Chains A and B, each alone.
Chain A
Amino acid sequence: MSKRHFEDFNVGDRLPLGSRRVTRAEIIAFASEFDPQPFHLDEQTGPDGLVTGLLASGWHVGALFMNMLCTGFLLDSTSMGSPGIEMLKWQHPVRSDDTLTGFSTVLETRTSKSRPDIGIVRFRHEVLNQAGETVMWLENPIMFRRREGDSA
């Protein structure tokens, strides 16, 4: 089967993300390298009373989402990267042994004026835990090569 091109995304499509279980070791490894705040390194230290226990860094949840997006459909597509994220909400803490799932909904598709071989798909992505709680959601555009522009 050929890769998913720009033309294969339609408004309202709901694409499943890959699933990912989060371990205590990787929460601490990511935080040690990128976000060494006490509440990402140790169960004992809550961030000043708002939430307690060992929490994954929000940037770790973002990186895990990226991996779930890759295994869900991006690696089997003509993705050419993304110019950014319009908004992102961290709604619920992610803890060790959580299993994350999610889906990406197509909000809008448009072709690029400056690059006719590229189309832009805007998504709303949602990441859920095993209890069905939304832990993070975001909206962002991703660029895909168009089938007409595909010279390969």
Chain B
Amino acid sequence: MTGFNAVSIDDRFEFGAHRFTAEEIKRFAGLYDPQPFHTDEEAARNTLFGALCASGWHTSAVMMRLMVDYFRRAAVDAQARGEPAPPALGPSPGFDNLRWMRPVFVGDEISFTGRITDKRLSQSRPGWGIVSMDVVGTNQKGEPVFSYTGHVFMRSE
């Protein structure tokens, strides 16, 4: 069965969690998003956030890593059980409604979960479908910090 046909609306996934350290927050920010609230504890204190926090792009990239690792583990586990591999991720045309609801501070542990919300055949690329997934990131207090609706191409035949 192809990736597209193997997924159903309302399928749910638990991608795992990541704890953000000051070192990695500042390293990512230094490379890509050197705004004071992402690079310097002291400067961050005088901003809307009140303390050093991760770039939203950093939070998003960490979600991607957990998602890739999840599907890789799932493929290995399925193979070990002699079952067909779960859908592999394909290229993505984009996403909608990405929200950074709360800052991700040093020491926060963010857990990501996903749910398939839509699947449709691609009009522009015969043999491919597009699957949409809502992903939510929640901190250790149970507060949502991140959500988005991602879209991914999967083979339909």
Chain B residues with CB under 8 A of A63: 28, 31-33, 55, 57-58, 61
Q: How many A-B residue pairs have CB under 8 A?
A: 104
Contact status A70-B35, CB under 8 Å: yes
How would residues 36 to 69 of chain A score, 1 for a CB under 8 Å from any chain B CB and 0 otherwise? 1101000000011011000101111011101100
Closest-CB distance, A120 to chain B (whole angstroms): 12
Given A89-B93, A89-B94, A143-B48: A83 and B99 interface contact (C-beta under 8 Å): yes
Closest-CB distance, B26 to chain A (whole angstroms): 15
What residues of chain A have their CB less than 8 Å away from a CB belonging to chain B?
30, 33-37, 39, 47-48, 50-51, 55, 57-60, 62-64, 66-67, 70, 74-75, 79-91, 118, 143
Contact status B48-A87, CB under 8 Å: no
Contact status B90-A59, CB under 8 Å: no
Complex interface residues of chain B between 66 and 102 (CB less than 8 A to chain A):
68, 88-101
How would residues 9 to 34 of chain B score, 1 for a CB under 8 Å from any chain A CB and 0 otherwise? 00000000000000000001001111
Q: List 18 A-B contacts (CB under 8 A).
A: A33-B61, A34-B61, A50-B90, A60-B61, A63-B33, A63-B55, A64-B32, A66-B57, A67-B32, A80-B47, A81-B56, A81-B100, A84-B98, A88-B95, A90-B91, A90-B93, A91-B93, A143-B48
Chain A residues with CB under 8 A of B96: 86-88
How would residues 129 to 157 of chain B score, 1 for a CB under 8 Å from any chain A CB and 0 otherwise? 00000000000000000001000010100
Chain A residues with CB under 8 A of B100: 81-84
**B72: nearest chain-A partner, CB-CB:** A36
Closest-CB distance, B91 to chain A (whole angstroms): 5
Contact status A79-B35, CB under 8 Å: yes
B43 in the interface, Cβ–Cβ < 8 Å?
A: no
Contact status B35-A81, CB under 8 Å: yes
What residues of chain B have their CB less than 8 Å away from a CB belonging to chain A?
28, 31-35, 37, 47-49, 55-58, 60-62, 64-65, 68, 88-101, 125, 128, 148, 153, 155
Q: How far is the CA of A64 from the CA of B148 in the complex (A)?
A: 20
Q: How far is the CA of A102 from the CA of B134 in the complex (A)?
A: 29
**A138: nearest chain-B partner, CB-CB:** B94
**A46: nearest chain-B partner, CB-CB:** B91
Chain A residues with CB under 8 A of B98: 84-86, 88
Partner of B99, one of A70, A84, A88: A84
Closest-CB distance, A33 to chain B (whole angstroms): 7
Q: How far is the CA of A57 from the CA of B90 in the complex (A)?
A: 12
Closest-CB distance, A73 to chain B (whole angstroms): 12
Closest-CB distance, B33 to chain A (whole angstroms): 5
Q: How far is the CA of A37 from the CA of B70 in the complex (A)?
A: 12
Contact status A57-B64, CB under 8 Å: yes
